Amino acid sequence: MNSYHELVSDYARLAREGKQLPLGGFPPAPRAAVPADAPKALIFAPHPDDECITGGLALRLLREARFRVINVAVTLGSNPARQAERLVELQNACAFLGFELIQTRPNGLEHVTARTRAQGRDDWRAMVKIIADILVTQRPRAIFFPHERDWNGTHIGTHFLVADALAALGPDFDCFTVESEYWGQMDDPNLMVESTTTDVADLVTAVSFHVGEAKRNPFHVLQPAWMQDNVRRGAELVGGQGGPAPDFTFATLYRLRRWQQGRWEKRYAGGRQLAATEAPGALFD
């Protein structure tokens, strides 16, 4: 028998079985106490669920480096009839992982797109101010947000919203920036972060709390496969073309830079592959 047939059949079987698992309702994942004065990492999530999908590094910062991880709900989705429900799902997902939660507005921001930005509308400037005020109030050591070509209109809009807020704060504001990908892949990630099977299982569980979206498209079941594919891509894009692949099973790709003196500065000349045995907090020293 061709053993690869068995391997692929097992993948297909697990994907089918995963779609039948319960959505949400699990007790909070174990966590250690985080000091009130711990460094902060803010996740500017375009939609509820993005905090779980791209949260591999953020979860490690919480669990290993004792960061306060705070999700900023940029929007609650574009369907007004679902926004209240999506907020509850988001609260449940964040509570499961141990993330804190900040809302931009009671129903989230609207029309966070590059088109709104290009039109120079007053509401774009108002949204930039909301994000800038959050940055000033929270003074994070690191912020997470999508890269500028992440395909989805709100993901791209969130990138420019955060970038414009950083620019509005002037040369004195300083933090590390971690750009993420999901719908559109980065050409130039410089950081691949390994996740353990426990962390991946908890991220998938957290996504399952977003019940409405998981019923519409059970992408949480495919998240482990996506994180496996990130290892394939990251071995070349981060590690260097033709280089040896790390012995990772799951990983997430990011672009890590530093914002200081009113502009971005490169963090690495090449790339960095952070293994599960390495300390994630050292990335932000």
**pLDDT at 39 (0 to 100):** 98
Q: Give the per-residue pLDDT at 178.
A: 98
Instruction: Kindly report which listed range (3-17, 40-54, 259-273) carries the lowest average pLDDT score.
Output: 259-273
Please provide the average confidence, as pLDDT, over all residues in the chain. 97
Q: pLDDT value at position 267? A: 87
Residues above pLDDT 70, as percent of the chain: 100
Cα(218)–Cα(13) distance, integer angstroms:
15
pLDDT in tens, 226-263: 999 999 999 999 999 998 999 999 999 999 999 999 99
Q: Tell me, what's the pLDDT at 270? A: 85
Burial 31-44 (b: 16+ CB within 10 A, else e): eeebeeebbbbbbb
**Predicted confidence band at 134 (pLDDT cuts at 50, 70, 90)?**
very high
> Which residue in 136, 112, 138, 250 sits closest to 192, CA to CA?
250
Q: For 17-47, what is each residue's pLDDT tens digit?
A: 999 999 999 999 998 899 989 999 999 999 9
Provide the H-helix boundaries in 54-174. 56-64, 80-97, 114-118, 122-138, 153-168
Q: What pLDDT score does 144 carry?
A: 99
Identify the architecture of domain 39-277 in CATH.
3-Layer(aba) Sandwich (3.40)
Cα dihedral 143, 145, 149, 150 sign: positive
Q: Is the pTM of this model over 0.95?
A: yes
Radius of gyration of the chain (CA): 19
pLDDT at 121: 82
Question: What residue segments make up the domains of the chain, in order of their start?
Answer: 39-277
Amino acid at 182: Y
User: Kind of pairing, strands 40-45 and 68-73?
Assistant: parallel
Q: For residue 188, name the pLDDT band (cuts at 50, 70, 90).
A: very high
Average pLDDT over residues 89-98: 98
Most distant pair of Cα atoms in the chain: their distance: 65
The burial of 18, by beta-carbon neighbours within 10 Å (0-12 exposed, 13-18 middle, 19 or more buried), is given as middle
Give the pairing type, strands 191-195 and 272-274.
Answer: parallel
At 158 the pLDDT is: 98
